[in-house]
Structure 1
Amino acid sequence: MENPAVHALAAWPAPLPLAVAYSGGADSTALLHAAAARWPGQVHALHVHHGLQQAADRFESHCAATCAALGVPLHAARVDARHATGESPEDAARRARYATLAALALAQGLRHVALAQHADDQVETMLIALGRGAGLDGLAGMPRRMERHGVSFHRPLLELRADALREWLAAAGVAHVEDPSNSDLRYTRNRIRRLLLPALQAALPQYRDTFARSARNAARASVLLAGLAEQDLAEAGSPPALAVLRALPQERLANALRHWLRRDHGAVPSEAQLLQLQSQIAACSTRGHRIHLKIAAGRVEREGGVLRWYNASPLS
């Protein structure tokens, strides 16, 4: 039985040399074995020690032994991934992981990192987005490539099923670690994996393919909306002029505001915040009308004839 990751990598024009994010778990183990076999001497492994559980030391030792056997250099770093009050622990760990992987890669002169996320991960991501009431960006799921912290992250296994990777590991007798937190139903992703995906498999056996198609359609639509927002913002200027914004139809105004906040300030407004901002823009027909709204972690204010963004500080 051949590693299914080998077929996925054969169809991928990998940028070499390449780093592989390697946790020691099943998915990243299959990816690392396939990459090391396909591009010997051109693959590095990156391991993030999250420090969230006692087993993390054992995970790192396992990764070191596996990489030594494969002849792959291993670069590891420890990070404090504890979440702040009111913050999602999953989101905090993910942000810390990407920042650390990027730092490890750049320290070795590497600018491309392969991630082992697969078709089941994509479905879980889309279901989480649906549960949060996300827009098209969220429903587009995980892209095959993204830029973050000066590094390109790639997902060459997005078409593969999780069970196919695990079947190969078992058949080949390849050891991997099992993260105990993966069975903790306090985490949304784990509840989806344990409770919803089996039900989807029973009701809609082709759900991975259909969800992937929906993600691609959402991604295409998102690109079109971003292009329209760029046109509207080009006319509105930077910072955007209120007179131009007020002339836009409401849906285009919402699209332009959302794009401006995310593109220029890294802010993602809630639906309620965006609606309130639209309402205030529509009402500001007089010179004295004041706009002073909390948006995400900052605020938006009217300054003469334009909108301004300010980083977080107490509202007056």
Structure 2
Amino acid sequence: MSAADGIEQALKGFNPRLPLAVAFSGGADSTALVLACQQRWPGQVAAIHVHHGLQAAADDFAQFCRRLCTEHDVPLEVVHCQARHARGQSPEDAARKARYRALTAGAHALTARLQRPVASIALAQHADDQVETLLLALSRGAGLPGLAAMPGHWQRDGFDWYRPFLQVPGQALREWLAARGQSWMEDPTNADLAYTRNRIRHQVLPALQAVFPMFRTTFARSSQHAAQAQALLQEVAQQDAQHSGLPPRIAALQQLSPARQANLLRYWLNAMHGVTPSAAQLRELQRQLAACTTRGHAIDLKVADGHVKRQGAHLLWLK
């Protein structure tokens, strides 16, 4: 399949509510996404550039985005963002959350400018990014949410979010741009092998390609299986939450099997507070729950940038 055919096939299954905002970094992937979407829905596409200010070249990236959007008549919103992580929070998690906040703010700003509500936001992660995410999750001993890798569609903050290129290899996007004579910006950190993701991209993926030429397709299938299993666990957690309440009652948690108890605790912390306990934190919380047999027994465990504490008959997570 040619690069053009792969992109065309990906966009056939991509039917977002319009207008659509594209997260536009200036790199090859997002450049291809902006142009392909504008070609398909002219006048219905805008772009959001998140200016992180983390590199000396950040202003150059923003200027490139402005030039391309002006040339192709795509409204652009530039949002400045500083991602500082709190104590106990990973820098990667802080950066991800800051980026989503910036994209959401950019979509609201575009709505005000265009006087039309932006309905959907598209991100340009592709098949190689999906494989890298899965391999990183495996290397960290992740559970089903990590093995499910990145979803192709979800809802957040009142918007539909999409990743339409998850079945398209990164090289195909570059070939598609090159065939059109379209340049893009190269992030200088992408070649730095100090970053694990870059070592996977430059060293592991070529080896996988040599041994398992269809690895992108088969890995994606495994991630889809993990996502389906995680959806079932989500349904179980929602059923258990109806009995335990949210925040959960300690007595109701103690009636569950260890697996269902852990599943409900993860669901509660993520759905209500946007935090995910580590495996060690979850084990310790379950140990404290098992020992909680008297009215005065205290529970106190640090999770992310807050603490899980007992308050009467319930567990609370407090910032």
Q: Same fold (TM over 0.5)?
A: yes
Partner residue of 1:22? 24
Partners of 2:89 and 2:299 lie apart in 1 by 28
Partner residue of 1:246? 254
Partner residue of 2:115? none
Q: Which runs of 5+ in 1 are unaligned?
A: 312-316
C-alpha deviation, 1:91, in angstroms: 3.9
Is the 8 Å Cα contact of residues 3 and 175 (structure 2) preserved in structure 1? Answer: no
Partners of 1:15 and 1:221 lie apart in 2 by 28
Task: Provide TM-score, normalisation by structure 2.
Answer: 0.91
Work out which of the residue numbers 67, 70, 74 in structure 2 matches 1:68.
Answer: 70
Partners of 1:168 and 1:285 lie apart in 2 by 64
C-alpha deviation, 1:303, in angstroms: 2.9
C-alpha deviation, 1:94, in angstroms: 3.0
C-alpha deviation, 1:254, in angstroms: 0.9
Partner residue of 2:169? 161
C-alpha deviation, 1:136, in angstroms: 0.5
C-alpha deviation, 1:90, in angstroms: 4.2
Is the 8 Å Cα contact of residues 247 and 268 (structure 2) preserved in structure 1? Answer: no
Partners of 1:129 and 1:283 lie apart in 2 by 32
Partners of 2:81 and 2:139 lie apart in 1 by 29
Partners of 1:91 and 1:276 lie apart in 2 by 22
Partners of 1:180 and 1:8 lie apart in 2 by 28
Partner residue of 1:305? 313
Q: Deviations over 1:220-269 (max 9, x none)?
A: 11111111111112111233222221121111111111111111222211
Identical positions, percent: 56
- Structure 2 counterparts to residues 245-284 of structure 1, below 5 A: 245-284=253-292
Partner residue of 1:314? none
Deviates more, 1:268-277 or 1:239-248: 239-248
C-alpha deviation, 1:32, in angstroms: 1.2
Deviates more, 1:145-154 or 1:101-110: 145-154
Partners of 1:53 and 1:30 lie apart in 2 by 23
Partner residue of 1:223? 231
C-alpha deviation, 1:122, in angstroms: 0.6
C-alpha deviation, 1:82, in angstroms: 5.5
Q: Deviations over 1:52-102 (max 9, x none)?
A: 122222222222221122121222122224656776554443332222111
Partner residue of 1:136? 144
C-alpha deviation, 1:39, in angstroms: 0.8
RMSD between aligned residues? 2.0
Partners of 2:281 and 2:56 lie apart in 1 by 41
Partners of 2:151 and 2:3 lie apart in 1 by 26
Q: Which runs of 5+ in 2 are unaligned?
A: 112-117
C-alpha deviation, 1:172, in angstroms: 2.2
